[in-house]
Amino acid sequence: MFIADLRKDFYQQLIGKRILVLVNYDLDAICASKILQALFRCDNVIYSIVPIMGLAAMRRAYSEHRGDIRYVLLVNCGGCIDIVDVLQPDQDVVFFICDSHRPYDVCNVYSDGQVRILGEMNRNENIPAFEDIFQDSDNESGDEDEEDDDDAGYNEDGGGSDSDGGGGAPKPANNRIQRIEQRLLRRREHKAWQERRLTLMFEYAQYAYYGSSSALSIFELAWRMSKDSLDLLWWAIVGVTEQKLLGKVESASYTLLIEKLQSHVSRLTNKASDQAIQTSVKIVFESDLQLALFRHWSVLDSLRYSYYPACRLKLWTHKGDKQMNELLVDMGLPLVQAKQTFNAMDLVLRREFYEKIEKFAEKYNMPDVTYASFVLQYGYRNKYSAADYVYSMLAILESVRQDRLPEACFLQSMDALSRGKKAILDEGIDLCKTLLTTIFKQVQTCLEMHQIRSAGPFLYLVLQEEVSFFSCPYGLLLLARFLLRAHVAVSRNRRAQELPLIAVAPIDLARGISLLAGVPPVCEDSRHFFAKAFEEAGNRSGAVISQDFFETAVIQIKQSDCTKFLDALTVMLS
């Protein structure tokens, strides 16, 4: 069931209670849980936050805490599965779901109260009506009971005679015929209902996509309770920006969210001014550039290793490299300056940089090089865009190694949000430079070696070497997204922009396990069909796969099964 009044039906229910918070490994979820922590501390709510990467971790975490927990909050997880069926909780356990993944599982939507989804039902999500997908079990068995009663009535006393055996009037035969006709009619109606249900459920669940940011939803709860602040707002901004940069939401949806955030920025800024509060923290609305980390990198490196300018200028080619140098000349930016860190550049060149790159964007086929965003300023020299935070936190989150567990990466990524831990944020920025450089070089190698193959209905890439950055879901998704756009930019096949890409990377060569991720076609929106397609291909091929991730476009697969899995997927989608 949906709950619209989050203050009354969600937050106030938790006061004085102990709550288990299960948080998915994504930045929006981390930002949402950071805001929740601030709220819980204000009201002395006892809570435990447990990061989880998939269904197995969810079951394990719930099993470990179920003894003394009656309230569970799931952040960016749990909404798309029948949570009661998966966890088998006691009847008095209540699950609150704040999940940006769509579509919701209909059992959660129509729960009688044990599962409560934060927010209002969105008609645009086309959730089927209750009566179209659920039917009273009594109605389904009623015909059989009636048939048994009829048979018993006609067979007592004589084994099937229409006479009562005692000289009375015979039972009318047409009564039995009418009952049979009614039963046949009900069965036809039930079969038609079942067929319609299958159609409705297929149409509803065939595509996976994302809804609004969970961090923004939790921030607006804080706002309604008059407990919001610039810090909490900034964390919501980072959550929304993550959805933009990772292609989870469309530009139109992002623009609406930005307008909402801008109103909050104006309100909190004016509130601080009215109360004459002297603060060094300031959030500024301004256009940002699709140049990753350019404030903390050189212009040359940011241009080369950001997927948007790299794909537009084809910077992995000699011609593209020459074109980038021509852009710098048109901008009046000497090469020696472009190679320096942005903050070390000449002050005049820094001030003119935005204006100049916007001026020549059309000429160099980069019409969307700017987008609306926000910048956080605090202290004298600290200035970070929302995108800087996203790239830094993402690199930290994906920096899992043998000596660095996923839980440690999760907690450190959350710490990067705190202004008092600037060193962690800067460390993540440096780490992300390595990540983006590695992705670019991999893309360049794949294109030069013609490693992207066409299976007909989709493109695919199978990496042979284990690379730590591509052993995690978002690292592989970033590579696949960059690679698909780069391939489309150089391909002579007109259908290339209509094809999705599937990337396979080994994550454990000793055990023969690979990670497989899919990204939708360039010409389409962020919706994808991979969840259902992967499941069906696994069933048809007999491949050993694990669909444990909450990001349904990512699965684990046995390396030796990759070929037959891709073959089955090809047959399915052809």
Check residue 489 and give its pLDDT: 94
Q: Where is 489: in which H helix or E strand?
A: helix 473-490
Cis before 103 (ω within 30): yes
Which of 93, 126, 159 is the endpoint of a domain?
126
Number of domains in the chain: 2
Which of the four pLDDT bands, split at 50, 70 and 90, describes residue 279?
A: low
Adjacent-strand bridge partners of 282: 377
Residue 497, in any domain of the structure: yes
Report d(CA 140, CA 186) in Å as an integer: 9
Which of 96, 126, 156 is the endpoint of a domain?
126
Question: pTM higher than 0.85 for the full model?
Answer: yes
Our CA angle for 271, 274, 277, nearest 5°, is: 85
Residue 272, in any domain of the structure: no
Please give the average per-residue pLDDT across 444-473, as a whole number.
Answer: 93
Check residue 165 and give its pLDDT: 46
Report d(CA 231, CA 517) in Å as an integer: 34
Check residue 525 and give its pLDDT: 76
Answer for the pair 240, 251: CB distance below 8 angstroms, yes or no. no
Among 123-127, 141-145, 325-329, the range scoring the smallest mean pLDDT is 141-145
Residue 39, in any domain of the structure: yes
Check residue 44 and give its pLDDT: 86
Check residue 332 and give its pLDDT: 94
Check residue 172 and give its pLDDT: 65
Residue at 352: amino acid letter: E
Which of 82, 101, 126 is the endpoint of a domain?
126
Is 362 exposed, middle or buried (CB count within 10 Å of its CB: 0-12, 13-18, 19+)? exposed
Higher-confidence residue: 389 or 277?
389
The CATH number assigned to the domain holding 520 equals: 3.10.310.40
Residue 385, in any domain of the structure: no
Residue 508, in any domain of the structure: yes
Check residue 153 and give its pLDDT: 47
Q: How far is CA 176 from CA 65, 142, 143, 148, 167, in A?
A: 58, 16, 14, 12, 20
Which of the four pLDDT bands, split at 50, 70 and 90, describes residue 275?
A: low
Residue 190, in any domain of the structure: no
Q: How far is CA 489 from CA 222, 313, 317, in A?
A: 44, 9, 12
Residue 531, in any domain of the structure: yes
Please give the average per-residue pLDDT across 463-490, as a whole number.
Answer: 94
Range of the domain at 60: 2-126
Closest CA to 551 of 474, 478, 499: 474
Residue 47, in any domain of the structure: yes
Which of the four pLDDT bands, split at 50, 70 and 90, describes residue 139?
A: low
The model's pLDDT over 368-384, given as tens digits with 9 standing for 90+, comes to 999 999 999 987 778 99
Check residue 493 and give its pLDDT: 87
Please give the average per-residue pLDDT across 142-165, as a whole number.
Answer: 47
Q: Considering the chain, what is the average pLDDT of its residues?
A: 90
Please give the average per-residue pLDDT across 542-551, as a whole number.
Answer: 94
Check residue 526 and give its pLDDT: 81
Which of the four pLDDT bands, split at 50, 70 and 90, describes residue 272?
A: low
The model's pLDDT over 174-203, given as tens digits with 9 standing for 90+, comes to 788 888 888 888 899 889 989 999 999 999
Higher-confidence residue: 214 or 138?
214
Which of the four pLDDT bands, split at 50, 70 and 90, describes residue 488?
A: very high
